[in-house]
Amino acid sequence: MKWIFVNIMKYKMIIAVRDDLDLSCGKIAAQASHAAVGCAFEAKKSYTNWFKKWQSEGGKKVVVRVEDLDELLDLERVAKSRKLPTYLITDAGLTEIPPETVTCLGIGPAPNELVDPITGELPLLK
């Protein structure tokens, strides 16, 4: 018997993390969590329908990497121009990096067909 898996999830959130900062795994996890929570609050407030559908599907999140600050800010600009929820994270500088360092960006939750054209080619965080 062959199994066919169909991706029924139609909404996702993307967390883009800067690769040039050499952050520890724990720091990346904390920064990505900040971005996910910020995006969720933003979407619940301003994109209620997308938020509810995303949440009902299990709240899919994908963490990708970008090369540097310039690529991250370009990604934010494109996402905003396409009217997607975004949340940029700037670190307080209490542990590994200087204050006011921009570490990651959350995009979504939003429909896959709106997110994928701007994030689909980004490599997954490893």
User: How does pLDDT run across 19-32, given as a tens digit for each residue?
Assistant: 999 999 999 999 99
Q: What is the pLDDT of residue 8?
A: 80
- CA gap 94, 90 in Å, rounded: 12
Over 80: is that where the pLDDT of 13 sits?
Answer: yes
CATH architecture of 18-119: 3-Layer(aba) Sandwich (3.40)
Burial 92-112 (b: 16+ CB within 10 A, else e): eeeebbeeebbbbbbbbbbee
What average pLDDT score do residues 49-64 get? 95
Cα torsion at 45, 49, 50, 53 (round to 10°)? 120
pLDDT tens track for 69-120: 999 999 999 999 999 999 999 999 999 999 999 999 999 999 999 999 999 9
Q: What is the pLDDT of residue 18?
A: 98
Q: What is the pLDDT of residue 4?
A: 56
**Confidence band (pLDDT; 50, 70, 90) for 9?**
confident
- CA gap 107, 88 in Å, rounded: 9
Helix 69-81 vs helix 112-119: angle between axes, to the nearest 10 degrees? 150
Q: What is the pLDDT of residue 126?
A: 86
Q: How many CA atoms lie within 13 A of 50 on its CB side?
A: 25
Q: What is the pLDDT of residue 6?
A: 55
**Structural domain boundaries in the chain:** 18-119
